[in-house]
Amino acid sequence: MILVVGATGQLGTAIVRKLVAGGQPVRAFVRRTGQYQHLQGAGVELAFGDLRDPASLDAACRGAEVVIATANAILPQGSSSFEAVEGKGYQDLIAACRKHGVKQFIFISVPVTPYDDTVPSFRYKRLNEQRLQASGLNYTILRASLFMDCWFAFIGSTLPARGAEAPTIERQYWFLKVFMKGVGNLIPGTGTALIPGNAQVRHAFIATDDVASIMVNAIGHPAAERAILEIGGPEILSWQQVADIYSKELGRKVRPVYAPGGVFRSMRAVMSPFSEAASDIMGLNWLVAYSTPYESRKSAGELGVQLTSAEEFIHNKATLAKSS
């Protein structure tokens, strides 16, 4: 049995779909108040619970051989906090895995930056990496570069959500809704892309579906045993190159407008007393100003995953938009 924690998110849903397609027994850990209806059906066992409820974690891990964890508090539901979900919650999840003899724990993490300690989502990812390494469990930690599905949207387009199940950019979190309302039409409407950082920043942008494939293919793979792997897409691109890809696909000029990382750093500090999650989102935009030039074609190849290029990703999304 493979337990997916974070199964209702875009990445978690893609993982569940791939496991079911591969004939794997899947248990999806979901909240009773969450949007889990799309996961109901043949091949998916629902385990109701919450990372804030140790008893439900214990029950969900019983009989599981592999745990794939993608859950986070970046876009919170209700009163969730980073400490409750990614702090105590993951501590209890790891303890339950140890108790029930889970054979592999696969964890999605983030790139390393000089300022991890100042942004909650990065700080807790590092903490949980340390917990896994000290747990005695067979762990696979995947430090993923920027997801195309999110960051190609955050700069000014809703196109990346086309055809996706449970797309992240459509999550019902108030700050995300306000943010996307403000930037979602920039590229098609004004021909501008709002970029965090500067023109020198480069990233190995990766498609969420490819991340899901890597996590599924890491199950039982020797290269993933007690390993920390940096994963990204097949190219290391500047934001200008991303804008050029949009320009080519849309048939109009798209011009990058760069917002200094310090702006987001200041907004993070201003929002911190009022909303931890909103402050964290601004912190993510600040940390994106640091390059993640992962060369991961070799590791992806070892795990049997053919990576999607940024041009392929945007073209496929645009094709879906035209056909709808």
What DSSP state is assigned to residue 161?
G
Whether 78 shows a pLDDT value over 70: the answer reads no
Task: Report the distance separating Cα 72 and Cα 86, nearest Å.
Answer: 6
Give the confidence band of 100 by pLDDT, cuts at 50, 70, 90: very high
Using the predicted structure, report yes or no on whether residue 77 has a pLDDT greater than 80.
no
pTM for the whole thing?
0.96
pLDDT in tens, 124-168: 999 999 999 999 999 999 999 999 999 999 999 999 999 999 999
Q: Give the Cα separation of 250 and 239 in Å (integer).
A: 16
Q: Is the pLDDT of residue 324 over 80?
A: no
Give mean pLDDT, residues 54-79.
91
